[in-house]
Chains A and B, each alone.
Chain A
Amino acid sequence: SQTIHQWPATLVQPVGSPLSLECTVEGTSNPNLYWYRQAAGRGLQLLFYSVGIGQISSEVPQNLSASRPQDRQFILSSKKLLLSDSGFYLCAWSVGQWVPEQYFGPGTRLTVT
């Protein structure tokens, strides 16, 4: 069966520090991968998605970037964190055009101080 992992689970970082969040999927090949951010009391905002290795699409211009160095690995990064980057970051995957549902990881709680 497929599983998705995110780490770290929680992170407290000072303003201006770098960020690297990692997401890996097991048990499937060539998944579509997604990064979402959920601010306190708000819905989900799609940040990036990827349909293959090295292919990254950005939905919202911002202080973050994403990379997909391997088929089942998706990384969210920042060179300098802002207070507004605080939130709950969720990674998700889906497979195939006719199976559109997405499956979510456990999330990373990021607090920028």
Chain B
Amino acid sequence: AQSVTQLGSHVSVSEGALVLLRCNYSSSVPPYLFWYVQYPNQGLQLLLKYTSAATLVKGINGFEAEFKKSETSFHLTKPSAHMSDAAEYFCAVSDLEGAQKLVFGQGTRLTINP
């Protein structure tokens, strides 16, 4: 069964600093992987997705993620943090069957310090 582990429930960075949010997955088949962002009291918004094309995936708001099969990782990065990036971030893997269920990590809360 697929699973996702997000390392660090809280990450704090200074404005302008590199953002790195970690995600490791477990999948018995080549996975589809996703990053979502959730602002307070809102639904989840898709940031980016990996679907077995390019291993470096660019998303919205300047975020990108690199799929590394050897490390079973899909870490999310942004070169320079903005105050508006403060939110909860979720990594997810698709089970690729039937109803296309997603398995989510527990989330990482990103705080940006001025």
Contacts and interface: CB of A to CB of B under 8 A. Distances in A.
Interface stretch (B13-21, B41-49, B70-78): B41-49
A32 B34 CA distance: 18
Nearest to A52: B99
Contacts of B34: 101
A44 interface: yes
A40 to B, nearest CB: 12
Given A100-B94, A100-B96, A101-B34, A43 B42 contact: no
Contact of A104 (B44, B49, B96): B44
Contacts of A43: 90, 104-107
B44 A90 contact: yes
A113 interface: no
A52 B36 CA distance: 25
Interface in A65-107: 88, 90, 92, 94, 97, 100-107
A43 B102 CA distance: 12
Given A104-B44, A105-B43, A106-B42, A57 B106 contact: no
A106 B98 contact: no
Contacts of A51: 98-99
Given A103-B46, A109-B41, A46 B90 contact: no
Contact of A97 (B44, B100, B101, B102): B100
B98 A100 contact: no
25 contacts: A32-B100, A34-B101, A43-B104, A43-B105, A43-B107, A44-B44, A44-B90, A46-B102, A49-B101, A50-B99, A51-B98, A51-B99, A92-B43, A97-B96, A100-B51, A100-B94, A101-B34, A101-B46, A102-B100, A103-B46, A104-B43, A107-B41, A107-B42, A107-B43, A109-B41
Interface of B: 32, 34, 36, 41-46, 49, 51, 90, 94, 96, 98-102, 104-107
Interface of A: 32, 34, 42-44, 46, 49-51, 57, 88, 90, 92, 94, 97, 100-107, 109
